[in-house]
Amino acid sequence: MFPGPGLTLPEGDDRAGRRDRLPLGPPAALQEELRAPDPHVPPAAAAVPAGAQGGAAGGGDGSALSSRGAGAPPRRPLFAQPPPETGGPRGHGARGAAGGHGHPPLLSLAGVHADIGRYKVLQGVDLDVPAGEVTMLLGRNGVGKTTTLRTVMGLWRVREGRVAFAGRELSRLGPAAIARAGIGYVPEDMGIFGDLTVEENMRLGARRRRMRPERLDWLLAAFPALGTFWHRPAGTLSGGQKQMLSLARVMVEPRPLYLIDEPTKGLAPAIVSVLVGALKRLKSEGTTILMVEQNFAAARALGDHAAVMDDGRTVWSGPMAALAEDAALRDRLMGLHLEARR
């Protein structure tokens, strides 16, 4: 679990994946702090009775608070060479997700290698994530997608290669420093506390446990179910609602970049549509996202760019439209796995 910056991450250099097991609940002092009322909770959310039904439908207008570009000064692209042609399943087209539209990538991985124990899991990941757009990280099971996100967050050590974020080298920083640099991480297992209410989970993601009203408006407009179930323990939410909470709690503080690991995993198709709709709303605000997704329909609906991994490497990258239009290429890169998991 990775409940979020500032909550459970120690301050020091705490990389190397030692924190797969984080506390099941927040420490007692934090629980005490959460009991104090939040003066910034909007009346609309606070007034919803705890037992109200409704789910994910509806929603109003939120404030258009964008996380775009903060902390992302213009800089020279790390990769000088043009994006290669789309190619075969190995060693071609692995760079250049920025796709030549002129903006330097907000996040760049160059030749990244990382080990888990004695296993060489990442063996050359090259990836660009352009600012203000959504990049999808795709590939078969077990090829290293989650490991890539965890390595960017400093949860696994970069043995070789570079990870640059907004012009800053991250590969020698620990997870707390990387989170403070402006990267929000929504892990595969969501990292929410089932015993705490939706409100409490959200407040844990906020600086000094205080949510800014305009930010909360924006999040509740994107994820209206959270307002409906504001006072419910998160453990009682449906799978899709939990996933929305896991996204919203990381986004409660605007960040230049979000890494999101398989948000649609295990959700029914109708719920996937709701989640994709919510993520589209975030995307329309210019949010920069690097997202792992196995559901190709969802990936196609949200992604501007795609990068495909195989065996610990990126083996193709380019516009999502190019991958969506080329079934043979998709099949060569990813086999039947993605289609089967639609």
Interacting residues toward ligand ATP by CB under 6 A: 116-117, 119, 121, 139, 141-147, 294
- Give the shortest CB-62-to-ligand ATP separation in angstroms: 31
- Give the shortest CB-262-to-Mg ion separation in angstroms: 6
- Give the shortest CB-152-to-ligand ATP separation in angstroms: 12
E-strand spans in 148-288?
160-165, 168-169, 183-186, 257-261
Token couple for 42: 């909007």
- What, of Mg ion, ligand ATP, none, does residue 135 touch, CB below 5 to 8 Å by kind? none
Q: How far apart are CA 55 and CA 237, in angstroms?
A: 9
Q: Rank residues 98 and 190 by Cβ distance to Mg ion and give the closer one.
A: 190
Q: Rank residues 146 and 228 by Cβ distance to Mg ion and give the closer one.
A: 146
Number of H helices, E strands in the chain: 13, 10
Q: Rank residues 81 and 141 by Cβ distance to Mg ion and give the closer one.
A: 141
Q: Rank residues 146 and 197 by Cβ distance to Mg ion and give the closer one.
A: 146
Count other C-beta atoms under 10 Å from residue 202's C-beta.
27
Q: Rank residues 58 and 142 by Cβ distance to ligand ATP and give the closer one.
A: 142
- Give the shortest CB-289-to-Mg ion separation in angstroms: 16
- Give the shortest CB-187-to-Mg ion separation in angstroms: 9
- What, of ligand ATP, Mg ion, none, does residue 272 touch, CB below 5 to 8 Å by kind? none
- What, of ligand ATP, Mg ion, none, does residue 116 touch, CB below 5 to 8 Å by kind? ligand ATP
- Give the shortest CB-189-to-ligand ATP separation in angstroms: 11
Contacts with 302 (C-beta within 8 Å, 6 or more apart), sequence order: 134, 136, 276, 279, 280, 283, 289, 291, 293
- What, of ligand ATP, Mg ion, none, does residue 177 touch, CB below 5 to 8 Å by kind? none
Question: Per-residue b/e over 106-132, b at no fewer than 16 CB within 10 Å?
Answer: bbbbbbbbbbbeeeebbbbbbbbbbbb
Q: Identify which of 137, 140, 127 has the alpha carbon closest to the alpha carbon of residue 99.
A: 127
Q: Rank residues 198 and 333 by Cβ distance to Mg ion and give the closer one.
A: 333
- What, of Mg ion, ligand ATP, none, does residue 198 touch, CB below 5 to 8 Å by kind? none
Tell how strand 160-165 and strand 134-139 pair up.
Answer: unpaired
The residues of the shown chain that bind Mg ion, judged by CB under 5 A, are: 145-146
Query: In DSSP terms, which residues pair with 136 in a beta bridge?
Result: 291, 306
Q: How far apart are CA 93 and CA 128, in angstroms?
A: 12
